[in-house]
Structure 1
Amino acid sequence: MEKILSVENLHVSFYSDGGEIAAVRGVSFDVNKGETLAIVGESGSGKSVTAKTLMKLLPKQNSIIKQGDVKYGGKNLVQLTNRDMEKLRGSEISMVFQDPMTSLNPTMTIGKQVMEGLKRHRTMSKKTAYTRTVELLELVGIPDPGERINQYPHQFSGGMRQRVVIAMALACNPKMLIADEPTTALDVTIQAQILELMKELQKKFQTAIILITHDLGVVANMAQRVAVMYAGEIMESGTLDEIFYQPKHPYTWGLLSSMPKLHADRSLPLTPIPGTPPDLSHLPEGCPFAPRCQYALKVCHQYEPGKTKVSTTHTVSCWLEDERAPKVKKPEGIGGMQRGRQSKIAGS
C-alpha cells in the first residue's frame, strides 16, 4: 500500500509553572492511502496532542517538539515554516475537530466559510467557487444547499454543522483527514450518520483518515488499524482484528473489558480500569501503566519495556511478552467481539 504519512519517534512537551509535561513520548506510526488508523485511549493519553502536532497547531508559547520526524510527501513537517505549513493545511491535510460550533465563525455564512479554503488553495473564480461549495454541501447531505449556503451556523443543527465542517475539510480534496473526536458532541443517531458519511467519502476519494477517539465502538465500525495510547506512548498497535481479537497489553484488555457489548454474556460485568492516568510531569519509574496493572511484575515498576513484534503488523510494549515472564491469561470475554457491519457494540 502507498504510504501517505510516517511519524517517527515523536516527543512533544509542554512547559508550565509545575515544570515539563511530557505529553507525547516516542510515538511512531504510518498511515497508508485510503485507510483509517484509529488512535484510542483515555482522556489525557496524548491523542489530540499528537493530532495537533501533525498539523503544527500547538501553542507556540509553551510547547515544543523535542524530537522526532513527521514525513509527508517527501517533506518533514516538523521542519517546515509556518508559511509552508499553511499551504498544506486544508489543501493536502485537513482536520475535523470535536465541536463543530467552535470550528465555525458565527458571523460568517456557511457558504463563505466553505469557499474560504477554495479561494486560498485553488485558483478559481467566485462563480466557480460558489458552484463547488453548493456541490460540497450536497455531497455531505445538507438539504437545499442552494438556499442554506447563505445561512449562518446557528441556523444549523449540531449534526448539520459537523457535515459543514467535513465539507470544509474536503473542499480541496486533501490526501489526509485528521478527525479528532468528530462525533463526541453528537447524539448516537447523528453519530452513526456522520461516521457513515466519512466512510462513503473516504471510499470515493481514497482519503487516508487518522481517527482520534476514546470510543471503541466507533473504532470497530471505522478503522483498519489501531494504535492504543497511554501516558503519551503507543502501548499496542495492530490491525483491527489483532487489537480486538488478540490484544496483548493489559491496558488494551482494560479498555475492551470496560466497553458495553450487546448480545454478550450478561453475567460478565463491565470492569473499569482501577486508578487514574499518571501525572505527565511526574511519571512513575518503569512502565507508566504498572501502578494500575493487576498483572504488573517487579520489573514493570523498574524499567520501561521495549517494543515486541507479535507479528509483522502487531507490536506491544509490555514485559509480559518477554519470554521469561509468567504466562498470563487475558480476562474472560476478551477476544470474541463482533465488529464492522455486524457490530452491535454500544456506540457503533
Structure 2
Amino acid sequence: MGETILSVKDLHVSFQTYNGIVKAVRGVSFDLKEGETLAIVGESGSGKSVTAKAVMQLLPKETTRVEKGSILYQDEDLLTFHRKEMQKVRGREISMVFQDPMTSLNPTMKIGKQIMEGLRKHHQLSKKEAYDRAKELLELVGISNADARMKAYPHQFSGGMRQRVVIAMALACHPRVLIADEPTTALDVTIQAQILDLMKEIQEKTNTSIIIITHDLGVVANMADRVAVMYAGEIVETGTLEEMFYEPRHPYTWGLLQSMPQLHQNRDIPLMPIPGSPPDVSSLHDGCPFAPRCPYVMSVCHSHLPDYTQISETHTVTCWLEDHRAPEVERPYRPDSGYRGKSTTVGG
C-alpha cells in the first residue's frame, strides 16, 4: 500500500431535529492509503453513510453541525473548504457511488450526456472529446454497444446496468478516492458479484483508493484490505481483513460474524442473531453503547466508555474485555464457518 491519501480524525457530526440533538458520528478516526480498499461495516443507523457524506460535504448545512474533527485530503482539511472549492474536489478528486442508482441519475437526460457533463466541467473537454471518453467509460464498466447506450435514458437500463453507469460517472474524472455507499444492496447476488469484480478490476488498473460502506460481510470478504466496524456512531474495532475475520476482539464483531450465513453451513447449527436493536443515538447514556446487547457485559460497561487498545500495529479495539482485570472469555465462532481461525481467549 502507498501513502495515506485521506485521513479522518476525531470526527463528530450531529443533527438538529424536532426531538433535539442527534449525535450521529462520535469521534470517528481512520486512514485510507493509496490503492487500498477500506470497508466500513455496521448495522443501519451506525453512522456509516453520515461519515461518508461528511467527507463529501453532502450533508444538509441547515441541520448539520460538525462539532469537531478534521478530514484531511492530501494534507488539506476538507471541512475548511468553501462550496466552490468542494465542487472542484467532488468528482475530480473524490467520487461517490450511492446505493440506489436511480436517485443518482437524471431520468430526463440521456446517459451519455450525464457522463459527459462532469468531463466537460472538470477537464474542459470539447463535446467530441467528452463523448469519446464517455463511450470508453461505458465499455470499461462492461456495457456493450456503447454508442447506442449513450443515447438511452436511465429507465431503459436494468438495475445492474444503471449501477455500472453510476460507477462510470464516478470514474469519469479519474478520482483518487472512490466512496461506494452500499453499492450492491439493491442488486441480485449474481449482479452483485459482477459489480464487485468490476470495482476490483478498475482499482487494479487505476490504483484508486476505495471506501466501501456495507452491512454485508460477504462483500467485505471479497473486497476489503482493512475493515472498520462501526456501532452507534463510533468505530469499535479496526484491523486487516484477516484480523477481523480470524481474530476479532469486540463482541459486536463476533455477533456480526455469528449472524452471517455460510454456504457450507451445517443445517443443525443455527444462526446466532445479535439480541436487541441498535440504540437511539439521540439519548445515549454513559458507558459502552453496545452494553445492553452484549452477552459479556460487566458493570463497568454501563458506566464508563473503554479506551482503544492496540492489539497489533494494524488492529485496535475499544472493549472492557481487553482490560487486564477483565475475566477471560472464549471467543465464539461457528465450527463450520468459512472464516474460522484458531479459537482465542480475551481478557485476563
Question: Please, what TM-score do these two structures have when normalized by structure 1?
Answer: 0.96
Does the 8 Å CA contact 2:25/2:47 hold for their aligned counterparts? Answer: yes
- Matching residue of 2:35: 34
What amino acid does structure 2 have at the position aligned with 1:294?
P
What amino acid does structure 2 have at the position aligned with 1:170?
L
5 Å-filtered alignment, 1:172-211, equals: 172-211=173-212
Q: CA deviation at 1:334?
A: 7.2
Distance 2:317 2:265 in 1: 27
- Matching residue of 1:221: 222
Shift in CA distance, 59/191, structure 1 to aligned 2, threshold 3 Å = same
Deviations 1:36-59 (A, max 9, x none): 000000000000000000000001
Does the 8 Å CA contact 1:237/1:316 hold for their aligned counterparts? Answer: yes
Does the 8 Å CA contact 2:11/2:27 hold for their aligned counterparts? Answer: yes
Distance 1:305 1:333 in 2: 27
- Matching residue of 1:238: 239
What amino acid does structure 2 have at the position aligned with 1:258?
S
Shift in CA distance, 130/70, structure 1 to aligned 2, threshold 3 Å = same
- Matching residue of 2:326: 325
Distance 1:151 1:107 in 2: 10
Distance 1:118 1:254 in 2: 44
5 Å-filtered alignment, 1:120-199, equals: 120-199=121-200
Shift in CA distance, 138/279, structure 1 to aligned 2, threshold 3 Å = same
Q: CA deviation at 1:336?
A: 5.7
Shift in CA distance, 256/338, structure 1 to aligned 2, threshold 3 Å = closer
Does the 8 Å CA contact 2:266/2:336 hold for their aligned counterparts? Answer: no
1:254 aligns with 2:260: no
Shift in CA distance, 132/101, structure 1 to aligned 2, threshold 3 Å = same
Deviations 1:194-228 (A, max 9, x none): 00000000000000000000000000000000000
- Matching residue of 1:104: 105
1:311 aligns with 2:312: yes
What amino acid does structure 1 have at the position aligned with 2:291?
A
Distance 1:76 1:89 in 2: 14
Q: Unaligned 5+ residue runs, structure 2?
A: 341-348
Does the 8 Å CA contact 1:257/1:334 hold for their aligned counterparts? Answer: no
Counterpart secondary structure, 1:111: helix
Q: CA deviation at 1:285?
A: 2.0
Counterpart secondary structure, 2:12: strand
Does the 8 Å CA contact 2:34/2:209 hold for their aligned counterparts? Answer: yes
Q: Unaligned 5+ residue runs, structure 1?
A: 340-348
Deviations 1:124-159 (A, max 9, x none): 111111110110001101110011101100000000
Distance 1:328 1:335 in 2: 21
Question: Please, what TM-score do these two structures have when normalized by structure 2?
Answer: 0.96
How many percent identity over aligned positions? 67
Distance 1:53 1:42 in 2: 19
Does the 8 Å CA contact 1:237/1:243 hold for their aligned counterparts? Answer: yes
Does the 8 Å CA contact 1:181/1:212 hold for their aligned counterparts? Answer: yes
Counterpart secondary structure, 1:34: coil
- Matching residue of 1:343: none
Q: CA deviation at 1:263?
A: 1.8
Distance 2:322 2:335 in 1: 18
- Matching residue of 1:43: 44
- Number of matched residues? 339
